[in-house]
Amino acid sequence: MKIDMHLHSIYSPDGQIPPDELIDLAKNAGLSAISIADHDTTEAYHHLPDGPSVEVITGVELTTTHLRDITVHMLGYFMDPFHSQLLNEIEKLKEARRKQAAGRTLKLRQLGFVFSDRDVERYAEGKTPVGPIFAMAILNNPANDNDERLLPYRKGGARSKAPYYYFDKDFLQEGKVAYYPVERISTAHAIKLILSIGGAPVLGHPGEKYDKDDSKGDINAMATAGLCGIEAFSSYHTGEQVVGFLSLARRYNLIATAGSDFHGPKVKPHIVLGDISSDYSVLDKLRARIPR
């Protein structure tokens, strides 16, 4: 009984697949349970089909800020997806996303990239644009064809496997030239919020931000704050990282979870739903950590 605890639907700013199609894909992949953990929204849970063919665990992926202004994605499972406290924080995060989009637009144009507001809106499909959406508008604009900075993302380039995703990581994340900081919920507060409304907080794809040895103690600090689990098995991680994060899970008494972070074929075409999975017993272990 395999489960994939980290899928994104069309309600994520960079997701592409409707919830009912995600469920069908999960069934075809042989999964018994999934979680739709969209970025800063639980809208997908208004659109689930009646009697889904696989078990759906409620989830969300909150964009938080940890020590040294590091952006950390905190997964939450099992809680009421429409709890008033959660929806209140989600609204704040959506406003932060809107402010960041405006700031990114300015910074990217200052760097000389050419793109139109109309193209950004078209690729965003009515949602607030995030990094990969700006990448689409830039990489698909002929005015940027001769920009040598974009060569790694073109066909045959070192970053061409997932060009929009990697452009976002290389230009728009913290420490990069087009980074635009905004105030967000702290990681510790997100952990406490999820616990307080009957959920289990899990650190998403830690290898994106942290080393497998937790040399600065950030993951230890999250565990002390009440973190229940760590997504040790992830499409972001090498085999060596998986081993390291499994060791951290034992050291900090965390449940090791698995999630593909599937978005669809555009943003992360290299990720296949269900390729990263774990045993169903993980759900029982996480449930046992939720305060009663």
What are the residue boundaries of the structural domains of the chain, listed by start? 2-83+186-289, 95-172
Q: Which residues pair with 77 in a beta bridge?
A: 59, 200
pLDDT at 270 over 90: no
Residues 160-184 have pLDDT tens digits of 999 999 999 999 999 999 999 999 9
User: What is the per-residue pLDDT for 11?
Assistant: 96
φ, ψ at 101 (rounded to 5°): -60, -40
User: What is the per-residue pLDDT for 179?
Assistant: 96
- The domain made up of 2-83+186-289 is a member of CATH 3.20.20.140: yes
Q: What is the pTM of this model?
A: 0.94
User: What is the per-residue pLDDT for 268?
Assistant: 84
Residues 26-68 have pLDDT tens digits of 999 999 999 999 999 999 999 999 999 999 999 999 999 998 8
Residues 206-261 have pLDDT tens digits of 999 999 999 999 999 999 999 999 999 999 899 999 999 999 999 999 999 999 99
What's the average model confidence in pLDDT over 147-164? 96
Which pLDDT band, with edges at 50, 70 and 90, does 69 fall under? Answer: confident
End-to-end CA distance of the chain: 27
pLDDT, averaged across the chain = 95
Residue type, 71: T
| Ramachandran category for residue 175: left, alpha or beta (phi over 0 → left; psi -120 to 50 → alpha) | left
